[in-house]
Amino acid sequence: MLAVEIEHLNVYIRHAHILKNVTLRIPKNTVFVIMGPSGSGKTTLLKVINRLIDFTEGVRVEGVVRVLDIDALKADPYELRKRIGMVFQTPNPFPHLTIYENVAIAAKLNGVARSKRELDEIVRWALEKAMLWDEVKHRLHAYPHQLSGGQRQRLCLARALAMKPEILLLDEPTANIDPINARKLEEAIVSLKDEVTVVMVTHSPHQAARVADYIAVLYDGRVVEQGPAQQLFLRPSTEITQKLLRGEM
């Protein structure tokens, strides 16, 4: 069963060829990690999956992108995004909403909760899943600026989970947070795969080793290698992958 199936994907932004003939298969209920040096097109690839790429000016997308058995490039992007949560590189909780409201708003927008009680339960479940509940349960009505960077990022994870997505896109979620918070986030990610398919972008081979079931290596807009994580770590078949795994890139 595939969550995402991409064939011969080409993305151009203005005149730059960002993604070049990308073909990928992301199985359901796995943690699929996309690795590559900065500027290799990782974020663009994620944004094609949930069509956030539509907001980029001068973009042209060609190829086949099937997400949850839907032709993602032809589907209504708003309906599509209701099934896909996303966490960004920089924590971006809404500063004018409380911790509770930040999580609840995602559930409300997607009609996940029918009553206040259900909403409370979902908020608690999402915060627990994001391993943040114990730290904020007594201050749910505080504002995000009172949290640390790492806590804010886990709040964003909770917000994405509260919409009960089938796919979760994570764009270098630990890039801007401290190692302890990064570990908590990784633990949360691994525990999630029974419920969602996680597609995560990272440039850290160590992180990939800790969380990935599958890995694709992206370099200069092309997929240079993809497969089960163990196999890729034990027998990397390209020089680019070897360099990337050694942290030389």
Contact 200, 211 (CB under 8 A): yes
CB 217 within 8 A of CB 225: yes
Contact flags string 163-202 toward other proteins, x per CB under 8 A: x-x---x---------------------------------
Q: Which of 22, 32, 42, 88 binds other proteins (CB under 8 A)?
A: 88
Task: Give Cα separations from 58 to 42, 47, 55, 184 (angstroms).
Answer: 18, 15, 9, 38
Of 29 and 90, CB closest to other proteins: 90
Element (H, E) at 69: none
Among 109, 187, 206, 238, binds other proteins (CB under 8 A): 109
Which of 117, 138, 145, 235 is in the footprint of other proteins by CB under 8 A?
145
Is 29 one of the binding residues for other proteins (CB under 8 A)? Answer: no
Residue 133 near other proteins by CB under 8 A: no
Does residue 22 sit in helix, strand or coil? strand
Stretch that binds other proteins, among 34-42, 66-74, 105-113, 211-219 (CB under 8 A): 105-113
Query: Would you count residue 106 as binding other proteins (CB under 8 A)?
Result: yes
Cα 34 to Cα 145, 175, 185, 208, distances in angstroms: 30, 14, 17, 9
The upper half-sphere exposure of residue 19, i.e. CA atoms within 13 Å in the direction of its Cβ, equals: 31
Q: Kindly calculate the radius of gyration of the chain based on its CA atoms and give it in whole angstroms.
A: 18
Tell me the site size for other proteins, rule CB under 8 A: 31
22/52 with CB nearer other proteins: 52
Dump the DSSP string for 127-146.
HHHTT-HHHHTT-TTS-GGG
**In terms of CB distance, is 169 or 212 closer to other proteins?**
169
Residue 234: CB atoms within 10 A of its CB come to 8
Chain Cα centroid distance, residue 182: 14
Residue type, 238: T
Q: In the window 48-87, what residues touch other proteins (CB under 8 A)?
A: 50, 52, 55, 78, 81-87
Confirm or reject binding of residue 147 to other proteins (CB under 8 A): no
- Residue closer to other proteins by CB (options 101, 225) is 101
Is residue 90 a contact residue for other proteins (CB under 8 A)?
Answer: yes
What is the contact surface with other proteins in residues (CB under 8 A)? Answer: 50, 52, 55, 78, 81-88, 90-96, 105-106, 109-110, 145, 156, 159-160, 162-163, 165, 169
